[in-house]
């Protein structure tokens, strides 16, 4: 089998894909016949690309770098200099790989997907069992994503099209599936009868930096919420699938996306906040504003907070509160399932105010951890009766399974592509349904004239986001 990384010399390939393949090799999960071929227009020979690949692996692997594995991995590596957006480039590739089973990983700008699929098809490289892996972003709205997906579909059938959302490769995200469907405990509670609301936070400390030409065209809503955050929302909210097979899981996810209540211009002001960072102090360093990074005035949001509702029986009345931003106070990706408080407190003290409602906190970054906050009696004597305090019941993977190496999410996903398992990949109808909802939000913003509120770099976002959640009777988990 051949894995062709189109864009093999690029950033994603060097930071993630080549190291992930190296680790699969280290774990004995790459069959002896698997060959890794880097492809880009850069004029390099096989030795030059091997050196580049091994340097990238060494940097990423750090103390986990093993020279013997690296030597074995190097033997699998080849390089083809070619421009795959034209027919001649695809013919060069065809001459090298022939009819061997091949995975094409498009680690290039999505603007090239159409042309690359056309030339692969013309070169006779798209028949089964060959498959294609697509990186985000798939379009910047419904129509553009439809055009890309249509072009890909002309070359590869849907069951051989793997749309990556690397969040789905994270151990804790898969653990969410295990937690929900491997324990009978949660299912009866997993509804609006017991759950007050759900929060999903993706906070990044970095700014946009050199990526601004791309980012300025997208903004936080399209770059982060449309894909990663809606995928997390789906895994929290979906009905139990009949099995773990790809269509069972994805059928349930798409039902959630289609049940997202559209938000109109009349309510978008109460249910969302757009923000943009101004100068501030982030990670102990003075940093400039987003506008300074771009070098031009812009209204692109680097922060968004949004309240979504899912119109079905399970989730009626439960807000799903999402927020994401750049240049935030800390790096944090977290899902919080906030349960309802006890209906009546028997404990003294400020009318039972010290009985906090339970919450299930699922941390994805920087640490992977799941903890359930339960009320506990504070040890000691108290003349008035009991004092309570919340204690976490922790499912720390590091504690339970040892502090081994934390896997790159792409390891799992690449292994699944090799084994034809698309459960953790995004199906075309999911992409379409999520864009349909996001396009509605953008249209409402435009109609209502919602502009960006400033927030200090190194903070937790605009004050308006705190006002928004307060008006909904909740508060951000901080």
One residue of 34, 42, 96, 423 binding ligand NAP per CB under 6 A: 42
Other beta carbons within 10 angstroms of residue 384's beta carbon come to 8
166 counts as catalytic: no
Stretch that binds ligand NAP, among 10-18, 71-79, 353-361, 466-474 (CB under 6 A): 10-18
Q: What residue has token string 């055009």?
A: 147
Site string for ligand NAP, 119-158 (x = CB under 6 A): ----------------xx----------------------
| 84 counts as binding ligand NAP under rule CB under 6 A | yes
Q: 162 or 347, CB closer to ligand NAP? A: 162
Q: Which candidate, 368, 455, 443, places its Cα nearest to that of 403? A: 368
Q: For residues 284-313, which are near ligand NAP according to CB under 6 A?
A: none
| 7 counts as binding ligand NAP under rule CB under 6 A | yes
Can you tell me the distance from the alpha carbon of 219 to that of 390, in angstroms, rounded to the nearest whole number? 38
| 107 counts as binding ligand NAP under rule CB under 6 A | yes
Q: What residue has token string 């697509």?
A: 134
Burial class, 422, CB count within 10 angstroms (exposed 0-12 / middle 13-18 / buried 19+): buried
Using DSSP, how many helices (H) and how many strands (E) does the chain show? 18, 17
The three-state secondary structure class of 352 is helix
Stretch that binds ligand NAP, among 103-111, 236-244, 302-310, 380-388 (CB under 6 A): 103-111
Q: 106 or 305, CB closer to ligand NAP? A: 106
Q: For residues 54-83, which are near ligand NAP according to CB under 6 A?
A: 83
Q: 2 or 359, CB closer to ligand NAP? A: 2
Cis upstream peptide for 129 (omega within 30°): yes
Total number of residues binding ligand NAP (CB under 6 A)?
Answer: 21
Q: 40 or 272, CB closer to ligand NAP? A: 40
Contacts of 252 (CB under 8 A, 6+ apart): 234, 238, 239, 240, 241
Q: 219 or 319, CB closer to ligand NAP? A: 219
Q: Which candidate, 394, 325, 332, places its Cα nearest to that of 363? A: 332
Q: 89 or 280, CB closer to ligand NAP? A: 89
| 109 counts as binding ligand NAP under rule CB under 6 A | yes
What does the angle CA 208 – CA 212 – CA 213 come to, to the nearest 5 degrees? 165
One residue of 11, 27, 33, 299 binding ligand NAP per CB under 6 A: 11
Stretch that binds ligand NAP, among 40-48, 321-329, 334-342, 372-380 (CB under 6 A): 40-48
Burial class, 351, CB count within 10 angstroms (exposed 0-12 / middle 13-18 / buried 19+): exposed
One residue of 2, 3, 4, 6 binding ligand NAP per CB under 6 A: 6
Assigned token pair, 118: 């056309």
One residue of 29, 74, 87, 112 binding ligand NAP per CB under 6 A: 112
Exactly one of 166, 228, 309, 344 is catalytic; name it: 228
Asked if residue 408 lies in contact with residue 23, where contact means CB atoms within 8 angstroms, the answer is yes
Can you tell me the distance from the alpha carbon of 166 to that of 232, in angstroms, rounded to the nearest whole number? 11
Asked if residue 219 lies in contact with residue 300, where contact means CB atoms within 8 angstroms, the answer is yes
Q: Catalytic site residues?
A: 228
Can you give the binding site for ligand NAP, defined by CB under 6 A?
6-7, 9-13, 39-42, 83-85, 107-110, 112, 135-136
């Amino acid at each position: 089998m051949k894995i062709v990384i189109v864009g093999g010399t690029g950033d994603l390939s060097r930071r993630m894909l080549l190291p992930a393949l190296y680790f699969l090799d280290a774990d004995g999960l790459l069959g002896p016949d698997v060959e890794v071929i880097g492809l880009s227009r850069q004029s390099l020979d096989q030795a030059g690309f091997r050196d580049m690949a091994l340097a990238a692996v060494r940097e990423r692997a750090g103390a986990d770098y093993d020279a013997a594995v690296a030597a074995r991995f190097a033997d699998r590596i080849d390089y083809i200099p070619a421009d795959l957006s034209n027919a001649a480039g695809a013919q060069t590739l065809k001459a090298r790989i022939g009819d061997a089973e091949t995975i094409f990983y498009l680690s290039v700008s999505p603007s090239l997907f159409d042309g690359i699929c056309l030339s692969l098809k013309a070169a006779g490289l798209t028949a089964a069992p060959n498959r294609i892996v697509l990186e985000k972003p798939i379009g910047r709205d419904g129509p553009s994503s439809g055009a890309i997906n249509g072009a890909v579909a002309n070359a590869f059938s849907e069951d051989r099209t793997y749309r990556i959302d690397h969040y789905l490769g994270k151990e804790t995200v898969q653990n969410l599936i295990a937690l929900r469907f491997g324990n009978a405990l949660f299912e009866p509670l997993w509804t609006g009868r017991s759950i007050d609301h759900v929060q999903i936070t993706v906070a990044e400390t970095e700014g946009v930096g050199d990526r601004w030409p791309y980012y300025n065209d997208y903004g936080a809503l399209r770059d982060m919420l449309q894909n990663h955050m809606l995928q997390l929302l789906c895994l929290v909210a979906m009905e139990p699938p009949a099995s773990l097979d790809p269509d069972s899981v994805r059928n349930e996810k798409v039902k959630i996306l289609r049940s997202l209540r559209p938000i109109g211009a009349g309510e978008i002001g109460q249910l969302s906040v757009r923000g943009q960072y101004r100068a501030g102090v982030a990670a102990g360093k003075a940093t400039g504003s987003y506008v300074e990074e771009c070098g031009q005035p812009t209204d692109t949001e680097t922060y968004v907070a949004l309240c979504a509702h899912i119109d079905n029986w399970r989730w009626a009345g439960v807000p799903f509160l999402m927020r994401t931003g750049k240049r935030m106070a800390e790096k944090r990706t977290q899902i919080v399932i906030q349960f309802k408080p006890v209906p009546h407190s028997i404990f003294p003290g400020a009318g039972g105010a010290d009985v906090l409602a339970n919450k299930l906190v699922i941390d994805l970054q920087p640490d992977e951890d799941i903890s359930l906050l339960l009320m506990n009696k504070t040890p000691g004597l108290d003349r008035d009766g009991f004092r309570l305090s919340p204690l976490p019941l922790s499912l720390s993977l590091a504690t339970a399974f040892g502090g081994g190496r934390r896997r790159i999410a792409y390891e799992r996903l690449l292994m699944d592509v090799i084994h034809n398992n698309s459960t953790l990949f995004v199906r075309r109808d999911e992409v379409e349904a999520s864009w349909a909802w996001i396009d509605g939000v953008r249209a409402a913003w435009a109609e209502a004239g919602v502009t960006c509120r400033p927030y200090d770099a190194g903070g937790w976002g605009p004050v308006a986001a705190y006002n928004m959640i307060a008006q909904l009777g909740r508060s951000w988990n901080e």
